[in-house]
Amino acid sequence: MKKNLLGRTGIEVTELCFGALPMGPLQKNLPVEECADLISTALAGGVNFIDTAQGYKTYEPIRLAIKRAKERPIIASKSPAKSFDEMQKAIDQALNELELDYIDIFHLHAARAGVDVFKKRRGALECLVENKEKGRIKAVGISTHSAKVTELASGLKEIDVVFPIINKKGLGILDGNREDMEKAIAKCVSQGKGVYFMKVLGGGSLVGEFEEAIAYGRSLPGYSSIAIGMVSQEEVEFNLAYFEGEKPKVFPSVAAMEKRFLVVKSLCAGCFKCVETCPNHAITPKEGKAYIEEEKCLTCGYCVGACPQFAIRLI
């Protein structure tokens, strides 16, 4: 499978990145062994890059898959930690639960954060830099939905890797539109930042336009990898073949990949923690309960983890 250098990091990643969010408890909640099997199939098929996060709760299956693999894959993780101590705990947790000596890429997990993110999370960023100096992480990054934050990251020496949202319809982009994000990405590339993409398939809403959506992502100069969430062996095998340049005859069932989230009103306590968490502002208060605007929902599942009442369900 094609590999690309990730900016000036010296890290070489496959064009297809295994996105570990959808298989975990925030979305499909597959059994740990089944998740490990999916990752193992991807690694055996040539993928060398896995994207996860502290909040995805998928370290266990990744650890199992790494132990089975012939070669250690590149691991990217992330944390919403704001302070030095919180970020240190997040890094320690990742290293301990993955049983690794270092994490290749560790991001500030800042999906909906604004341009003040680097000021508000200065302590967390300093922690990442210090751990990079100690060799416990190899590259410092930021994952973001904001075009303005992406542009700002291009000029920060502390940031090695940028993981922005981008797709052909501009779904989920904050602080600008698709064209603004394209320009911000180009600026990151010009400054030697490593760039790989999230939600090229719009959180699943563009799976029916798979070829066009992937072709759009590939048309943007300087990207290194595209993270795609996979929750079945059929999807893994399809993506492996597609990114190897083959044209699979059978496309995975679109119906099987479709997903939506629903608030169970009888369980919703109206605390609106989900409103604060949603990266695309797709949840609003309505008659004292949380309401999901499906046309805005990116099906990331962050709201599921934020709800103390377990009132949000994937259906």
CATH number at residue 300: 3.30.70.20
Specify the pLDDT at position 256. 55
pLDDT of residue 253: 61
Query: Which residue is listed with tokens 């083959």?
Result: 246
pLDDT in tens, 246-305: 977 777 665 555 678 889 888 899 999 999 999 888 999 999 999 999 888 888 888 887
Burial annotation 224-249 (CB, 10 A radius, 16+ → b, else e): bbbbbbbbbebbbbbbbebbeeeeee
The alpha carbon dihedral of 53, 164, 187, 126 has a sign of negative
pLDDT score recorded for residue 220? 98
Mean pLDDT (the chain, rounded):
93
- Is residue 142 helix, strand or coil? strand
What SS3 class is residue 224? coil
Residues 100 and 202 in one domain: yes
Instruction: Decide which of 232, 256, 280 is a domain's last residue.
Output: 256
The C-alpha atoms of residue 307 and residue 274 are separated, in whole angstroms, by: 6
Question: Residues 53, 38: one domain?
Answer: yes
* 210 & 139 share domain: yes
Q: What is the C-alpha to C-alpha distance for residues 266 and 250, in angstroms, rounded to an integer? A: 41
Residue that finishes a domain, picked among 211, 234, 256: 256
Distance CA 214, CA 16 (A): 11
As for how many domains the chain has, the answer is 2
Percent residues over pLDDT 90 in the chain: 81
- Are both 58 and 135 inside the same structural domain? yes
Task: Return the pLDDT at 297.
Answer: 87
Domain span holding position 307: 260-314
Q: What is the pLDDT of residue 299?
A: 84
Say if residue 199 is in the same domain as residue 267. no
Same domain, 119 and 40: yes
Per DSSP, which regions of 145-239 are E strands? 161-164, 194-197, 225-229
Rounded Cα distance between 279 and 173, Å, is 9
pLDDT (0 to 100) of residue 205: 80
Task: Give residue 294's pLDDT.
Answer: 85
Is 267 found in the same domain as 216? no
> Do 122 and 82 belong together in one domain?
yes
Distance from C-alpha of 163 to C-alpha of 227, rounded to nearest angstrom: 9
Q: Which two tokens stand for residue 244?
A: 């190897």
- Distance linking the first and last C-alpha atoms of the chain: 34
* pTM recorded for the entire structure: 0.90
CA 101-16-257 angle, 5° bins = 110
Are residues 50 and 111 both part of a single domain?
A: yes
**Per-residue model confidence as pLDDT tens digits over 240-249:** 999 999 977 7
Are residues 157 and 49 part of one domain? yes
Pick out the chain residues at pLDDT < 70. Answer: 252-258, 310, 315
Domain-ending residue, one of 239, 256, 273: 256
136 shares its domain with 243: yes
The per-residue pLDDT for 261 is 84
Report whether 261 contacts 286 (CB < 8 A): no
Q: Are 35 and 46 in contact (CB under 8 A)?
A: no
Exposure class string for 201-214: b at 16+ Cβ within 10 A, else e: bbbbbbbebbeebb
Domain identity same for 249 and 288: no
